[in-house]
Amino acid sequence: MLFPRRNLTLLATLGSAGLLGGAFAFQYIGGMAPCQLCLYQRWPHGAAILIGLLVLATGWRGLAWAGALAALATAGIGMFHVGVEQLWWEGLATCTAGSISGISTADLLNPAADVAAPVRCDQIAWSLFGISMAGWNVILSLGLAGVWVMAARKAD
């Protein structure tokens, strides 16, 4: 009983919290605005955190399968994002076409307004060992999905 279900669930929950916290740190401390695909990758981590808290509170291991699904969802979005970054395929129109969605007409017409350039999904803003943030999200989220599956299959 080296890894009880509760510990596996806690590990997976904290893993998603760490990845989400890291994304917010890059944004708010590092000043790196996220692209649209980066934002989409955050939502499943938030869902995994909520699922993990529910599993820890109720002990119902069936919910751990939902945690695995959330981790796989963010990994899938991350894989798509890596493909966009590597120019293997086109991204969303709001990612690579220089979208100005969310900016009011008044701000666009006001020369004094400070309107930042849209963040493009096909440009790698940061990498470690040649792997982009989206790539790291894929690798780590697949690992978290494995932890969720172990938690779901564990019969404590």
Cβ burial 79-108 (10 Å sphere, 16+ → b, else e): bbbbebbeeeeebbebbbeebeeeeeeeee
Q: Is the whole model's pTM more than 0.85, yes or no?
A: no
Lowest-pLDDT range of 15-24, 84-93, 134-143 = 84-93
Q: What is the pLDDT of residues 55-80, one digit of tens each?
A: 999 988 889 999 999 999 999 999 99
Ordered domains of the chain (ranges, CATH): 5-89+119-153 (1.20.1550)
Would you state the pLDDT for residue 128? 84
Q: Quote the pLDDT of residue 1.
A: 53
